[in-house]
Chain A
Amino acid sequence: MKWDEFFVTGEPMIYAAMVSIVVVSLAIPIALTYFKKWNWLWMNWLTTVDHKKIGVMYILSALLMLFRGGVDALLMRGQTAIPDNGLLDGQHYNEIFTTHGVIMILFMAMPFIIGLMNVVIPLQIGARDVAFPRLNAISFWLFFAGAMLFNISFVIGGSPDAGWSAYFPLASLEFSPTVGNNYYSLALQIAGIGTLLTGINFLVTILKMRAPGMTLMKMPMFTWSVLITNVIIVFAFPVLTVALALMTLDRQFGTQFFAMQSGGMDMLWANLFWVWGHPEVYIVILPAFGIYSEIISAFARKNLYGYKSMVVSMVAISLLSFVVWAHHFYTMGHGVMVNSVFSITTMAIAIPTGVKIFNWLFTLRKGKISFTTPMLYSLAFIPIFTIGGVTGVMLAMASADYQYHNTMFLVAHFHYVLIPGTVFAVIAGFHFWFPKVFGFMLNEKLGKLSFWFITISFNVTFFPLFILGLNGMTRRMYTYSESTGYGPLNMLSMVGAVGLAIGFIILVYNIYWSVRYSPRDIDQDPWDARSLEWSTHSPVPEYNFALIPTVNKLDAHWFAKKEGKPLATGKYEPIHMPNNSGLPVIMGALFFFWGFFMVFSWWIPAIVFGVLILGTLAYRSFEKDHGRYISVEEIERTENALRGAQHEN
């Protein structure tokens, strides 16, 4: 392989990106050395096994990926804003819609949600950490390694260009000869293993580590949604693991799974991809439903309406989400029988989802609503998501789908589901739980300003796409002629996209502003909320709860406040905590290099790194690490300091 094949060449934008990558990767170590922060970074962050810090790292990475995916989106909208535009060529456009999809789903939405899960779940169930803290760190570093591996593809070797669903035969070696799709299969594989481990970890955490008295039906709704989500993760991700492994085998080892000429089936890929892919949709949406349930009930000052029906509907979704996948390819050769069955299951899954909408509406009814930033997002979510849901039922009808399939109508539909569903939820959750982690609040004025920018611009961006789709504009086409008449609506969509970008810039500015100026004198429960995480200090001490609370009903913290009775009494005892470990970040690095050499089929270094990965497992197996104890004196000191800080102010 020659150097000019190794690096992507010939594009001014790519050269600019290369320069900026080199500058940033030089600037970070120089700054760390100059400010003498290496030790701080290693001790406090890279080796941490603290669920709160791991959560923060997940969310930071997700924000970074939101930026990357957002730039991709702006380029796409810019390219299609006017007919016959030449901003991007066809190849570059293909790469950008592929990376946009992969990054937004797998490296933005998933880690943002897993980050919030990490921060909130142990606090919400009254635990001191997750079940397997070190495994949790490994999950994060595997995700991070996968994300970085995927991102370097656009300067080294070339990005995948067969769409985020990477359908065969297009994604086969014959039609996509660059290493782009090797990056796809290997980066997703590494990140996917991390996600599977997260799933196991949180299932055990929620099943085994709840505070005394918190039975399953007394868990907060966010915890319930995360429990169900992780059930789906555990059983859906292995399917992706297999599908990606078969892709690697087909592209790099000459097998015949998806090749048409030697007894393979190209549609088998689509089938496997969506067997995982549709449950994946519910993996990113169910925690969002949980976040909205928490926020709506907190700011309507009422308990959640229909708690049991909400739980039942989520359990139903977890099963139904596995039996609807073929609705993603109605038009690709199935008989009437297959299409009818999947059409019916798809419409059936709309029922439990619809139930939830009524749960939230009835929670709002007669509530004393306070319109905070998180609440605004939650209120905007209900009508916008309903549009997304209803258009989904339109797409569910197999015969009608022949009209909508692969048009911009579909693109509009899933953005109407995923943005108000997942993105609004993670932003709302970010504003809601921010004070818990950092001990100060995000500015409400700036928060509301960015909310209005984002919500209005979202509709301006994506509503025109419904009409464009019905007019016949297909997805993934990089340009069109003026005579099609698609120009004006695409231009309108571009205007919306710019508005969205401004909204997100205000959001980031809000973080900056709040870090510098936001008052630090907040209470541990600034929103006057309902669940256990608000019963400990903000910011949360390392051990979460000095005394483990005892729970006797749903929203126990709320009723404890009303009745003026503390949830936890007794004397401090030494607290057992896990030790930090450098092994997870080292494993992440080894997986990154293993993946990188695999991408280029450089077998010898790949084998070396594979053996090193096994070596870290062996090291871990022989290691003796019983954790450490925090002494009673230290707990008293921390507790007094945290209490004092709140009283002084």
Chain B
Amino acid sequence: MKIDHSVPMEYSTDENKMKILGFWIFLGAEIALFSTLFAVYFTLQGNTNVGPSASDLFHLSPVMIETILLLSSSFTIGLGVHAMRLGLKKPMMTFFGITLALGAAFLGVEVYEFVTYVGEGATIQTSGFLSALFTLLGTHGLHVTFGLLWGGSILLQIKKRGFTPETANKSFIFSLYWHFLDVVWIFIFSFVYLKGLM
């Protein structure tokens, strides 16, 4: 396997370059997936049936906490990739660890939020609006959950094997995934929560 040392390690082999391109295309597909969920949400958001509407349900503070947690995690994983490019294993692992911890905290707040909604009688079965809301948020939450498992397994590999073209490639691709989830959250924050509270 030819290794090109003039570029960052995650790009250093042909296979690595193809994997990064392939993952970007996958993110393109993810854009289409979340757009469809948004389309469903926007179409059904007025159909509240007997259940609460967006403005009855949403509260600003948990949403702001979630947003800050996820934005920070996006920042720390960016620092992690930066540390990786400097070849610093320990700082890189620390930043990735912080990222995953922030992700877990985000999930915690989201679960708390869901429990509150259900406590107020707003379940996924109540109305078209709530089905669409829970599905959109839940799909994003499942992505974050999967990210925690994936990121954890990458951390273990970095710990065991250090930086190799493979592990660097995986870490970089994982950072793309994580940033993408942050972008999706920004749109949920703006067009689900803030628009709903407007």
Contact = CB atoms under 8 A, between A and B. Distances in A.
A contacts B directly (C-beta below 8 A): yes
B126 interface: yes
Interface stretch (B14-22, B62-70, B108-116, B190-198): B14-22
Interface of A: 131-132, 196, 199-201, 203-204, 207-209, 234-239, 241-243, 245-246, 249, 253-257, 259, 262-265, 268, 272, 275, 576, 614, 618, 621-622, 626
B135 A246 contact: yes
Contacts of B49: 256, 262-263
A272 B36 contact: yes
Interface stretch (B40-48, B78-86, B88-96, B181-189): B40-48
Interface of B: 1, 14, 17-19, 21-22, 25-26, 28-30, 32-33, 36-37, 39-40, 43-44, 47-49, 124-132, 135, 149-150, 153-154, 156-157, 170
Closest 9 pairs (CB-CB, A-B): A263-B47, A263-B128, A238-B33, A263-B49, A255-B131, A238-B32, A242-B36, A263-B127, A264-B128
Contact of B125 (A236, A239, A255): A255
A254 B125 contact: yes
A618 B149 CA distance: 9
Nearest to A245: B135
Contacts of B1: 576, 626
Contacts of B130: 256
B43 A204 contact: no
Nearest to B51: A263
Contacts of B40: 242, 246, 257, 268, 272
Contacts of A235: 28-29, 32
23 contacts: A131-B22, A196-B29, A199-B25, A199-B29, A203-B25, A204-B22, A204-B25, A234-B29, A235-B29, A236-B32, A237-B29, A249-B131, A254-B125, A255-B125, A255-B131, A257-B135, A259-B128, A263-B128, A265-B44, A614-B149, A618-B149, A622-B157, A626-B1
Nearest to B125: A254
A264 to B, nearest CB: 4
B135 A621 contact: no
Nearest to A234: B29
Contact of B29 (A200, A259, A272): A200
Given A238-B29, A249-B135, 10 more contacts: A203-B25, A207-B21, A242-B40, A253-B124, A253-B125, A256-B49, A263-B128, A272-B39, A621-B153, A626-B1
Nearest to A237: B29
Contacts of B149: 614, 618
B124 to A, nearest CB: 5
A203 B156 CA distance: 31
Contacts of B153: 618, 621-622
A156 B47 CA distance: 37
Contacts of B135: 245-246, 249, 255, 257
A131 B17 CA distance: 10
Nearest to B154: A621
Nearest to B127: A263
A207 B132 CA distance: 37
Nearest to B153: A621
B153 to A, nearest CB: 5
A173 to B, nearest CB: 12
Contacts of A256: 49, 125-128, 130-131
A132 B18 contact: yes
Residue from A131, A263, A265 with most neighbouring chain B CB atoms (10 Å): A263
Nearest to A197: B26
A257 B36 contact: no
Contacts of A234: 25, 28-29, 32
A618 B146 CA distance: 11
A259 B149 CA distance: 35
Nearest to A242: B36
A200 B22 contact: yes
Contacts of B156: 622
Contacts of A199: 25, 29
Contacts of B36: 238-239, 242-243, 272, 275
A466 B74 CA distance: 59
Contacts of B30: 238
Contacts of A622: 153, 156-157
Given A256-B126, A626-B1, A264 B157 contact: no
